[in-house]
Amino acid sequence: MGKLGIFVLLVSVFVGYKIKTVLDPPRLPEKLKETWWGPGNPDSVKTIIKPFTINVSDEVLKDLQYRLDHHRPFTPPLEGIQQQYGMNTNLLKEIVDYWRMKYDWRKQEKYLNKFPQYTINIQGLDIHFIHIKPIVPQNIKKVPLLILHGWPGSVREFYDILPILTTPQEGRDFVFEVIVPHIPGYGFSKPAIRPGLSPDNIALVFKNMMHSLGYQKFYIQGGDFGAIILRNLAVLYPEVVLGFHSNMCTVLTLKKYVKSLLASIFPSFPSWYVRPEHYDRVFPVKERFFDTIRESGYLHEQSTKPDTLGAAMNESPIGLAAYILEKFTTGTNKTWQNREDGGLLEYFTYDDLLDNIMIYWITNSATTSFRLYAETFNRAVTEKGILGQPIHVPTACSRYSNDFYTPDGMLKDIFLNLVHLTDFDGGHFAAFQLPKIFAKDVYDAVEKFEVINNK
């Protein structure tokens, strides 16, 4: 081999090494310190489980009624516009009138208190959670399952799946002990008083919470931010995770973007990693790009100026309702932006949707919920590279037709032990929208996990 050949070989090796270095996941961050996120100090609060009941004062409800009754006139929508500019004010007025005159909080409060609820202080944060321990025959095994919501959701999303998950199912020899917390700063879980409570730190909080409840190992399920937090848990603490079921298995690696670029240039390239029946969820790339831009404005605002936005949302229940309900329209089915009614009553009732909004309103948690975006989408967290790390625990991914989509060939770049992959017609709030389908898929996945774990 001549000098030129040796030079070309060395350059090729060097370039190949650099490409591999760029495409490989970064090193795992060092072990997290157990930061005290609340007021006081670690000696000031004991880790005690306390029963919890939702009980909103009459003063809060009177104030809400006043604000609903005395709002300024709605700005009429443009001619021929349904939900394309955001929440249609004709629809919003209909919902607000229902809220003012028909929605019965005291009735819904009893409904929300139907499951056993508790609080526990972990690292200075009072965490609110539902905890159901089913009473079952001795031949039925009880397995612990941590379920986590996202934004703009709450524990309310899971009320229809909890009876299914905690009731023995025909042909199955196990049932779930379910733990459903509010993320810190959401609902009845207290927020951090100092910056830095990112998904990896929240994962540590929930690991410590589960251990305090007596569960050293457990199954996890999450969508939206619940998926992000629990992915951090699976990466950082795989020894405690028996299996991970997610309805938002996204991949955000450089390798994924390289594959997407190649697929957009070479029409024959996608066939090995995108099922033909799913092409319209990936291509044309340009259309998918503009879909993302249209639906992600909230993410940029919440990631950069959460307190500014929160000031408005904490002041106006109607503004808060418009902001959240708009996500339940396009998040359930993006074509519903072309409907006058936003499609909201296809799967939900106004009581269902207002329950979720009320949890944000009565806890004054709009601002603190938005802050999670700022604590996640920043340089410090991105440089940790946790979401680019492979996940080795047994994993199940359920993809819904109107939600984030990752092709088969990209999923396996991150989820190395993917043992259950399913596709359903549905949207982003899957447990809320399709509780029977959602719960069955969790059972099916954990049934496979149990086989693996009992070998």
Helix axes 317-330, 58-69, angle to 10 degrees: 80
The count of C-alpha atoms lying within 13 angstroms of the C-alpha of 92, restricted to the half-sphere facing its C-beta, is: 24
Q: DSSP alpha helices (H): ranges in 128-174?
A: 162-165
**SS3 assignment for 424-448:** ECCCCCHHHHCHHHHHHHHHHHHHH
> Is 30 within a domain?
no
pLDDT at 268: 60
> Is 35 within a domain?
no
Model pLDDT for residues 14-63, shown as the tens digit of each residue: 444 444 444 566 677 777 889 999 998 888 888 899 999 999 999 999 99
CATH label of the domain that carries residue 185:
3.40.50.1820
Model pLDDT for residues 123-177, shown as the tens digit of each residue: 999 999 999 999 999 999 999 999 999 999 999 999 999 999 999 999 999 999 9
The percent of residues in the chain predicted with pLDDT above 70, rounded, is 90
pLDDT at 267: 58
Model pLDDT for residues 59-81, shown as the tens digit of each residue: 999 999 999 999 999 999 999 99
Contact 234, 391 (CB under 8 A): yes
**Which tokens belong to 142?**
């009880």
> Please, which pLDDT band fits residue 256 given cuts at 50, 70 and 90?
low
Q: Catalytic amino acids?
A: 224, 373, 428
Rounded Cα gap, residues 338 and 346, in angstroms:
14
Is the pLDDT at 3 greater than 60? The verdict is no
Is the pLDDT at 272 greater than 60? The verdict is no
pLDDT at 275: 79
The count of C-alpha atoms lying within 13 angstroms of the C-alpha of 242, restricted to the half-sphere facing its C-beta, is: 22
**Which tokens belong to 351?**
């009581």
Which domain covers residue 311, as residue numbers? Answer: 50-258+288-453
> Is 394 within a domain?
yes
> Is 171 within a domain?
yes
pLDDT at 340: 95
- Number of domains comprising the chain: 1
Q: Which residues of 257-282 are buried (b: 16+ CB within 10 A; e: fewer)?
A: eebbeebbeeeeebeebbeeebeebb
**Which tokens belong to 90?**
């004709």
> Is 166 within a domain?
yes
> Is 295 within a domain?
yes
Is the pLDDT at 414 greater than 80? The verdict is yes
> Is 44 within a domain?
no
270-284, 318-332, 364-378, 398-412: the lowest-pLDDT one? 270-284
> Is 355 within a domain?
yes
